[in-house]
Amino acid sequence: MTVLLVVAPFCAFALLMLLTSATASLFAACGVCLAVIAFDAWRGRSLKILGAGSAVVFAALGTYLAFVDPSLSGSAVRFMVDAGTFAIALGSILLRYPFTLQYGLGMVPAETAAKPEFTHANYVITGAWTIAMLVMMLANGAIWIVPGLPLWLGLLVAFAARNGALYFTRWYRDYRTPKHGSPPADALRNAR
């Protein structure tokens, strides 16, 4: 359920970009972000960095398109959304509070959350999502810069990067669970 709530604004944005204007897609995605934030608040959960940051990105870009430059291409808008989410993810790492930590804290007992291994695992998972966001940003940047590239290529890369990060998150979370014991320091290097 948590993963669906996290990706819902981005799925809404991607789908609506195929059906309506970029401005409407951005404001609708912002609305989905705000709905997820309200749902989390109703459930007594904290405000999430990614959710709040994404709402700001969608609202800022939507406002820019509505009042400054409505002629911005769809590829440029997708690139800017990806750049915004990449900045949020990388910023959370640089601020020493990886964005996945907030989601992880709600899924584990307090004694697990207090362990340094838990924080380390969240840095690794946030790093994987940051790389996925970078890949999506670069793909949409290429489509924006080279207009002859097909839209489906960007969608395919986004789908692969997002699903790759999701698969890695699940695998790494399961790998780090107590039933497997603590992984060796070079576990990621040997996993290839």
The pLDDT value given to residue 103: 86
Q: Indicate if the alpha-carbon torsion angle 3, 131, 78, 62 is positive or negative.
A: positive
In the chain, where the domains are located: 2-190
Structure tokens at 181: 């014991």
Nearest Cα neighbor of 134 from 160, 161, 111, 98 is 161
Residue 109 has pLDDT above 60, yes or no: yes
The pLDDT value given to residue 178: 59
Segment 113-162, tens digit of pLDDT: 888 888 899 999 999 999 999 999 999 999 889 988 888 888 899 889 98
The C-alpha atoms of residue 140 and residue 75 are separated, in whole angstroms, by 6
3-state class (DSSP) for residue 57: helix
The C-alpha atoms of residue 105 and residue 113 are separated, in whole angstroms, by 6
Segment 10-62, tens digit of pLDDT: 989 989 998 999 999 999 999 999 999 999 899 888 889 999 999 999 999 99
Residue 189 has pLDDT above 70, yes or no: no
Distance set, CA 20 to CA 25, 31, 37, 46, 96 (Å): 7, 15, 24, 32, 38
The pLDDT value given to residue 115: 86
Distance set, CA 48 to CA 20, 54, 158 (Å): 28, 10, 22
Distance set, CA 76 to CA 65, 69, 105 (Å): 11, 12, 35
Residue that wins the pLDDT comparison between 188 and 174: 174
Segment 48-100, tens digit of pLDDT: 999 999 999 999 999 999 999 999 988 899 999 999 999 999 999 999 999 99
Segment 49-61, tens digit of pLDDT: 999 999 999 999 9
The pLDDT value given to residue 183: 46
The C-alpha atoms of residue 68 and residue 76 are separated, in whole angstroms, by 14
The pLDDT value given to residue 191: 42
The pTM of this model reads: 0.84
The pLDDT value given to residue 1: 52
